[in-house]
Chains A and B, each alone.
Chain A
Amino acid sequence: MSTTTSTPPEAGARPLIDRAQYGLAAFLVLTGGYVLYDASGLEEGFADQPVQPYAVSYVVGAILVLLGVLLGIATARGDLPESDEGEDIDLTQGTDVRTVALLAAVLVANIALINVLGWAITGALLFVGATQALGSRTLVRDVCVGVALSVGSWYAFYVGLGVPIPAGILDGVL
Chain B
Amino acid sequence: MDLLLEGFQQALTPTNLLFACLGVILGTAVGVLPGIGPAMALALLLPVTYSVGPDSAIIMFAGVYYGGMYGGSTTSILLNTPGESSSVVTAIEGNKMAKKGRAAQALATAAIGSFVAGTIGTVLLWILTPRVSDLVVKLGAPSYFALMLLAFIAVTTALGSSKLRGFIALFLGLAIGLVGTQTGQARLTFGEAKLADGIDIVVVAVAIFAVGEALWVAAHLRRKPLEIIPVGQPWMGREDWKRSWKPWLRGTAFGFPFGALPAGGAEVPTFLSYLTEKKLSKHPEEFGKGAIEGVAGPEAANNASAAGTLLPLLTLGLPTTATAAIMLSALTSYGIQPGPLLLDNEPGLVWALLASLIIANALLLVINLPLAPLWAKLLRIPRPQLYAGILFFACLGAYSVNFQAFDLVLLLSFGVLGFAMRRFGVPVLPLIVGVILGPKMEAQLTEALAISSGDVSTLWSEPVAVVVYVVIAILLAAVAVNGLRRPAAPEPIGPEVEDEKELVER
Contacts and interface: CB of A to CB of B under 8 A. Distances in A.
Contact of A134 (B52, B388, B396, B424): B388
**Range class of the A interface residue count:** 35 or more
Given A38-B188, A163-B400, A93 B387 contact: no
Contact of B400 (A24, A57, A157): A157
Contacts of A170: none
B171 A111 contact: no
Contacts of A128: 388
Interface stretch (B100-108, B118-126, B401-409): B401-409
Nearest to B422: A84
A123 B396 contact: yes
Interface in B17-63: 34-35, 47-48, 50-52
A48 B237 CA distance: 69
B223 interface: yes
Given A53-B183, A74-B497, A88 B383 contact: yes
Nearest to A23: B420
Interface stretch (B250-258, B262-270, B281-289, B444-452): B444-452
B370 interface: no
**Range class of the B interface residue count:** 35 or more
Given A35-B188, A87-B226, A127-B392, A60 B497 contact: no
B420 A53 contact: no
B15 to A, nearest CB: 13
B4 to A, nearest CB: 31
B185 A42 contact: yes
Contact of A82 (B222, B388, B425): B425
A61 to B, nearest CB: 8
Contact of B220 (A27, A43, A91, A132): A91
A104 B215 contact: yes
A161 B79 CA distance: 37
Given A38-B188, A90-B220, A100-B215, 6 more contacts: A1-B503, A48-B450, A56-B174, A82-B425, A86-B35, A86-B213
Interface of A: 1, 4, 9, 15, 20-21, 24, 27-28, 31-32, 34-35, 38-39, 42-43, 45-46, 48-51, 53, 56-57, 60-61, 63-64, 67, 70-71, 73-74, 77-91, 93, 95-97, 99-100, 103-104, 106-108, 110-112, 114-115, 119, 123, 126-128, 130-136, 142, 145-146, 149-150, 153, 157, 161-163, 165-166
Interface of B: 34-35, 47-48, 50-52, 75, 79, 81-83, 161-162, 164-165, 167-168, 171-172, 174-175, 178, 183-185, 187-188, 211, 213-223, 226, 382-385, 387-389, 391-392, 395-396, 399-400, 403, 405, 408-409, 411-412, 415-416, 419-420, 422-426, 438, 442, 445-446, 449-450, 453-454, 493-494, 496-497, 500-501, 503-504, 506
